[in-house]
Amino acid sequence: MNTRENRVLVVAEKPSVAQSIAKVIGAYQTKDGYLEGSGYLISWCLGHLAEYAEPEAYDEKYRKWNLADLPIIPDRWKLEVAREKMTQYKVLKELFSLPLSCVVNACDAGREGEAIFMRVYELSGSRLPVKRLWVSSMEDSAIQEGFRNLKDGSEYHNLYQASVCRAQADWLIGMNATRAYTKTYDHLLTVGRVQTPTLAMLVQREQEITGFQKKQYFMTHLLCGNLDAVSEHFDDRSRAEEIAGICNGETAVVETVKKEEKSIVPPRLYDLTTLQREANRLFGFTAKQTLEYAQSLYEKKLLTYPRTDSQFLTDDMEMTARGMIDILKNILPFVPATVTSPDVKRVLNSKKVTDHHAIIPTAEIAKADIGSLPEGERKILLQAANRLLTATAQKHSFISVKAEILCNGYHFTTGGKVVADAGWRLYEDAMKRYLKADEEKEPDEKEGIMPDLTEGQVLSSVKTNVTEHWTKPPVPYTEDSLLAAMEKAGKEEMDQDVERKGLGTPATRASVIEKLISGGYAVRKKKQLIPTESGKQLIVVMPDYLKSAQMTADWENRLLLMERGEDSPDAFMDDIYAFLDTVLDDCKSIPDEERSRFAGEDRKDSREVGTCPVCGNKVREGNRSFYCSNRECAFTLWKENRYLSSMKKTVDKKMAADLLAKGKTHAKDFYSVKSGKTFEADLLMDVSDEGRVSFHMEFTNKTNYKKMK
């Protein structure tokens, strides 16, 4: 490697982002694990290259779960690089060791991007000066502007501190509370700082549904031409039919008619959560899928940075927005022929933009072949593009009509609305028709033809009928409604001026939902999210403070304040340590009869999948792992593990059976972060005498190896 000291090292989060940046800064020479040119070296981290080590990395005794060893609190936190990412880490470490002028952190511009870079920087032992590239899109012009205005890395120290506290808090609570409750009940019970309160919301909704007592009621209808007026609700049919008989064929009089002009303002631009919610409602996409599609579009330079919690653009983006609207009106196939002048001022508010502005398309969309994009990405791009048109369109205005009719002393009411100006709904409805959105709509006021009623009008020979109805229980959560609930959690208990409320952040909520699914605590049924029996059992034994959405939301807000230097990392972590003491003390006080709640349940419900390679006892399937039935044995094969997570793969029952029987299993759908493609290979499992599991790959041919690379 050339060692000229005036060169700059640039570190991106992923290979695709590194390549985009390299083209802009002129680093065209491909090396092993990096690119070079024009005085730059540019490499990448493959996502989270280094993560906090498991407890056994601090002391081998932690390999066995033991209440007496808790709490586990590292004196000095250790970072570990996953085996499959070690090659790339070695490339970075060597690059960091060169005599360079500085290193540019070009990882995603957010809390996690800061953590990804700084962990590798610290592990490498580098003392190079750090600059920060902070961009909201991957367009060439944005990257060029970002390099002209590189920030000093120290300006983002608070952001990194918040990322450290978030990760350490999650580790401490997850590792300690999970072990404490699992050993107390002798049953695997996984606890998470955000995961457990989210599961509690699912379980509470399920209880509201199962405990709902539906009630029957009846209504009498008064019919005349297009008119359909209804009575009050009656508990018994006979009363409704009595009134129907009294009024049938009689004359009715319109007593009152109220007409009111109303309007609905356009929806705001998308932040990540609202994009995920609507994509779930319109297309059935999971939150994780939407984030992956949006991230891919960002890396393809077609969408701005997706992990944002803002729904506005900055005040200086007016001309950018106007230019983008002109582009979209010409290229979107579903834009109505008649459009009005956009009200761009409505979407501008610098005070409501923190790290990143709302999600909008980039100018690159004008050159893109949108039809060639994968279906999911195409829908998300068109959805985000249309939202810019929708958010700047005119109000949806209509006339609401409510009338009261009297017949033989009985009152009936009717209502509806007549659209005066469709406004922004022209764009929204056109997009939904074009993309064939599968949206389940809530009942609304009747829209369309309404009889032209006037006060005092006489209606002759009216007809009647009776209809039967039932009160409806609450509906199960969908990802749309759960994301909304997570976003609003704790809102009532927090001050109105608190900026960030809720469980998790826009960037992490999808992963929380996925952990509930992969952990066996919830399942998807079409669009619905339903807690499993394991999920319900977990919540039953959890104390209220571990299920508290308000407390977790408060922690999340404190992390935001920490990013701004308004809260102390030490104070935050002191509160986490005190919280752990409470958890452990409460576990110790659980009575013996309660501890036996799950006695024999693992044997009854678990399914044997093979023989333990350490002690020879049976291995059974649990919610999150395949574990040895011998409680003294430490062997555990986790369904979701670090080695496979980057390959978007989890261990299923067939794979586990193969690994236990033959020490290896074959799969065709491993994912390569580097190439963005799937590949097939043999996965081999190694097990130490202490029960520690590790993996490596074997490739059947060179083609598969090249796909991975």
CB 515 within 8 A of CB 195: yes
Cβ–Cβ under 8 Å, residues 619 and 637: yes
Q: How far apart are CA 532 and CA 540, in angstroms?
A: 12
Q: Residue 161 has which token pair? A: 């501190």
Task: Give the Cα separation of 476 and 163 in Å (integer).
Answer: 33
If DSSP codes are grouped into helix, strand and coil, which group holds residue 545? Answer: helix
Rounded to whole angstroms, the Cα distance separating 353 from 359 reads 12
At 300, list the tokens. 């393809």
Q: Which residues neighbour 696 within 8 Å (Cβ) at sequence distance 6 or greater?
A: 83, 684, 686
Q: Containing H/E element for 405?
A: strand 396-407
Give the integer Cα–Cα distance in Å for 399 and 445: 11
Distance CA 156, CA 135 (A): 14
CA distance 52 to 55: 9
Q: Two tokens at 84?
A: 């499959």
Q: Tell me the residue length of the chain.
A: 709
Residue found under tokens 């605590």: 521
Q: Which residue has the tokens 């919830």?
A: 522
CA angle 83, 89, 95 (to 5 degrees): 160
Question: Could you tell me if 461 and 249 are in contact, meaning their C-beta atoms sit under 8 angstroms apart?
Answer: yes
- Count CA atoms closer than 13 A to 322's CA, side-chain side: 9
8 Å CB contact between 89 and 49? yes
Question: Active site residue: 305, 427, 477, 627, which one?
Answer: 305
Beta strands in 422-482 (DSSP E): 458-459, 463-470
CA dihedral 41, 35, 157, 575 (to 10 degrees): -140
Nearest alpha-carbon partner for 86 in 646, 516, 550, 609:
646
DSSP percent split of the chain into helix, strand, coil, nearest 5: 40, 20, 35
**Residue type at 102 in one-letter notation:** C
305 annotated active-site: yes
Cα distance between residue 596 and residue 594, in whole Å: 5
Active site residues per annotation: 305
